[in-house]
Amino acid sequence: MLFDLHVHTDISPCSSLELTTILTRAKGLGLDGVCLTDHDTMEVLSEVKEGVQNDGLVVIVGMEYSTPEGDYLIFGPFESIRPGMNAFELAAHVYRAGGAMIGAHPYRLTRPADLAAYGPEGCRIVEVANGRNTRSENARALSLAEKHSLAMSAGSDAHTLEELGRLPSKMLTKVHSREDFVAALRNGLFRPSRLACANGLPHLQVA
């Protein structure tokens, strides 16, 4: 299943991508699922039924949580998560709740991450292919993942229709719900897709 793990609706102030556009166009772009990851909110749940849509598209709702140590995509029971945690507090909270987290664009010049937040007790998945990163930023994220044996994901970080689905991840198990998705992340059943590697990491080889 091909999922875009990092998509912003126009609930995020920086995005012009309307929810209805995502829902009507994602399947035609070759996606089986999308993760709606607006900044610090899961407000989009008031506008969409999570899970399998009428056309078969799977919608998962998470959020991009901002910390002083960088930004993290989090998935789990976080509708009422408290704001203002640092990355270390966030990781502990996410794992206690049975959730999963992905380090978003850790080397982006405007939002660099504290690399101490990555590892067995911190963030265990790195977004190595981000559609809004430079090739250099993606390459450095890949090096981070390889150096610390971290799992790797891809995501478009879409803010416009033109960006949606450009860098998907391949889910290696069936996903129909948030619970399925979190379990797949926690068990490592995903990887950057061939398309993501072609667009964002041409030097990363995938089987």
pLDDT tens per residue, range 130-175: 999 998 999 999 999 999 999 999 999 999 999 999 999 999 999 9
User: How open is the CA angle 170-174-176, to the nearest 5 degrees?
Assistant: 110
Q: Is residue 13 part of a domain?
A: yes
Q: Is 50 exceeded by the pLDDT of residue 207?
A: no
Mean pLDDT, the chain, whole residue set: 93
Q: Are 32 and 60 within 8 A, CB to CB?
A: no
Q: What is the DSSP letter of 197?
A: H
| Structural domain harbouring 37 | 2-200
Q: Is residue 205 part of a domain?
A: no
- For 56, residues 6+ apart whose C-beta sits below 8 A from its C-beta are 27, 32
Q: Is residue 207 part of a domain?
A: no
pLDDT of residue 9: 98
Q: Is 80 exceeded by the pLDDT of residue 206?
A: no
Computed from CA positions of residues 163, 167, 171, 172, in that sequence, does the dihedral angle turn out positive or negative? positive
Band of residue 64 on the pLDDT scale cut at 50, 70, 90 = very high
Give me the percent of the chain exceeding a pLDDT of 90: 88
Q: Are 70 and 87 within 8 A, CB to CB?
A: yes
Band of residue 201 on the pLDDT scale cut at 50, 70, 90 = low
pLDDT of residue 194: 78
What span, in angstroms and rounded, lies between the C-alpha atoms of 78 and 140? Answer: 30
pLDDT of residue 205: 54
Q: Is residue 50 part of a domain?
A: yes
Q: Is residue 107 part of a domain?
A: yes
Domain count, the chain: 1
Region 35-51: what's the mean pLDDT? 97
Q: Are 48 and 11 within 8 A, CB to CB?
A: no
What span, in angstroms and rounded, lies between the C-alpha atoms of 106 and 118? Answer: 10
Q: Are 67 and 36 within 8 A, CB to CB?
A: no
Q: Are 12 and 39 within 8 A, CB to CB?
A: yes
Q: Which contiguous run of DSSP H or E holds residue 185? A: helix 178-186
Convert the pLDDT of each residue in 170-199 to its tens digit.
999 999 999 999 999 999 999 999 776 666
The 3-state DSSP class for residue 123 equals strand
pLDDT of residue 204: 59
Q: Which contiguous run of DSSP H or E holds residue 147? A: helix 135-147
CB atoms within 10 A of CB 115: 17
Q: Is residue 131 part of a domain?
A: yes
Q: Is residue 47 part of a domain?
A: yes
Q: Is residue 167 part of a domain?
A: yes
Q: What is the pTM of this model?
A: 0.94
pLDDT of residue 195: 75
Region 99-119: what's the mean pLDDT? 93
What phi and psi, each to the nearest 5 degrees, are found at residue 118? -105, 140
CATH number at residue 70: 3.20.20.140
Band of residue 21 on the pLDDT scale cut at 50, 70, 90 = very high
